[in-house]
Homo-oligomer: A and B are copies of this chain.
Amino acid sequence: MTPEKHFKLLKTDNQARAGELNTAHGKVPTPVFLPVGSQATVKTLTPAEIKATGFGMVLANTYHLYLRPGIDIIREMGGLHHFMAWAGAILTDSGGYQVFSLSPLCKINDEGVTFRSHIDGSTHHFTPELAVSYQEALGADVMMVLDECTAYGAGEAKVRRAMHRTHEWAERCLRARKRDDLALYAIVQGGFSPELRQASAEYLTSLDFPGYAIGGLSVGEPKAVTLPLLAATAAALPEGKPRYLMGVGAPEDIIAGVARGVDIFDSALPTRVARNGALYTRAGRVNIRRAEYRKLDAPLDPDCDCYTCGNFSTAYLSHLFRADELLALRLATLHNLRFIARLMEEIREAILGGTFAAFRGDFLASYQTTDEVARVAQKGKWLRGREA
């Protein structure tokens, strides 16, 4: 597939962009959010539910699937789409990030990375070539290069070395490709140095990948550090290629990313917090265990068009969580994912209509971010303390 065919930019609204990914498993309107199904399942949901909730593309993880069930089993069954019975598009992460974050022992050199399984401690080896061959066996519509991500606070020498290794590995991944029906994205590194980020974006752009991920952000740094770097990195990438901000999924962060020119997002956050009982509403994230919800005979969000709000009361959802019932996890997951799907639909509509700035302003005016909620609660406590 040529890069031109893989992505079509339809409209820009300042830095925000509306476009379309073209895959063998359907067209995917952008900006898009990918629900995370690391182990070939978006936790608690069937493929039919993922689709009905408004998603045409999901993320799976090479590291997890390599360890369990094993790449060979999925290859022999004709690939990941058939294995997980998902007819939509799939993006696979190469597994590099998981090797670094989940493996108890991990040694990296120019050749590749040796790591221990977080499941049984067995030793394994990934190279750029193997990462591509595994992802081609999975048959992912979008594959990611193997890269080296550095932590916030890493020294410049280390960041520079990791960036150069990421570049070399990106070239090796390109050369290792055997299937041209699958898109391979590069990953920009360069830590928190604007100069290195710029250099990384330029170098990788010269290799003409069909898409680019912005890696190495949201690794513990303050948001005030993230956003200017994100804007600069996105601006350094070619306009005609999709831009993917890895691991970002809070509503306010998606909006901030779109405003800075990002097209693709993924994150386990909406589904993970759902299982903890934190549900999105247009006013912010709320905790289903709040006492007043026990008797509320109305949907959690009367304006929500999700399956949960359409069929069940807040009181029932509250009961399911308090009683540790498995249905609670499903219903909360459906709600949060539908919230995100609808947010993406509305963002795209606004961009196409040239009103993204107004949409963003309206959304953020009513949506209290979690940080703000915590800050306001803290301030309230402090004020009450003064009165006492």
Q: How far is the CA of A85 from the CA of B307 in the complex (A)?
A: 12
Q: How far is the CA of A40 from the CA of B312 in the complex (A)?
A: 12
B327 touches A45 (CB 8 A): yes
- List residues of A (286-331) whose CB comes within 8 Å of B's CBs: 294-295, 297, 311-313, 315-316, 318-320, 322-323, 325-327, 329-330
With A69-B294, A315-B69, A319-B69 as known contacts, state yes or no: A325 contacts B77, CB within 8 Å. no
Q: How far is the CA of A146 from the CA of B40 in the complex (A)?
A: 48
Q: How far is the CA of A311 from the CA of B48 in the complex (A)?
A: 10
A40 touches B319 (CB 8 A): yes
Residues of B within 8 A of A322 (CB): 68-69
Q: How far is the CA of A315 from the CA of B75 in the complex (A)?
A: 12
Q: Is A276 part of the contact surface with B, judged by Cβ < 8 Å?
A: no
A77 touches B326 (CB 8 A): no
Among B43, B76, B311, B323, the residue within 8 A (CB) of A326 is B43
Cβ-closest chain B residue relative to A70: B294
Write the A272-283 contact mask toward B (1 if CB under 8 angstroms, else 0).
000000000000
B44 touches A84 (CB 8 A): no
A39 touches B73 (CB 8 A): no
Q: How far is the CA of A327 from the CA of B38 in the complex (A)?
A: 13
A323 touches B77 (CB 8 A): no
Residues of B within 8 A of A83 (CB): 313, 315-316, 319
A294 touches B329 (CB 8 A): no
Q: Is A15 part of the contact surface with B, judged by Cβ < 8 Å?
A: no
Write the A37-57 contact mask toward B (1 if CB under 8 angstroms, else 0).
001110111111000000000
B323 touches A68 (CB 8 A): yes
- List residues of A (138-182) whose CB comes within 8 Å of B's CBs: none
Q: How far is the CA of A327 from the CA of B45 in the complex (A)?
A: 6
Apart from A69-B323, A73-B319: 11 A-B pairs, beta carbons within 8 A: A39-B319, A41-B327, A43-B326, A43-B327, A68-B322, A69-B319, A77-B313, A83-B313, A83-B319, A85-B312, A85-B313
Interface residues of A (CB under 8 A from B): 39-41, 43-48, 64, 68-69, 73, 76-77, 83-85, 294-295, 297, 311-313, 315-316, 318-320, 322-323, 325-327, 329-330
* Residue contacts A-B, CB under 8 angstroms, 20 given: A39-B319, A39-B323, A40-B316, A41-B323, A41-B325, A41-B327, A43-B325, A43-B327, A46-B311, A47-B311, A69-B294, A69-B318, A73-B295, A76-B295, A77-B295, A77-B297, A77-B313, A83-B313, A84-B316, A326-B330
**7 cross-chain pairs, A with B, having the tightest CB-CB distances, nearest first:** A69-B319, A44-B326, A39-B323, A41-B327, A77-B297, A41-B325, A85-B311
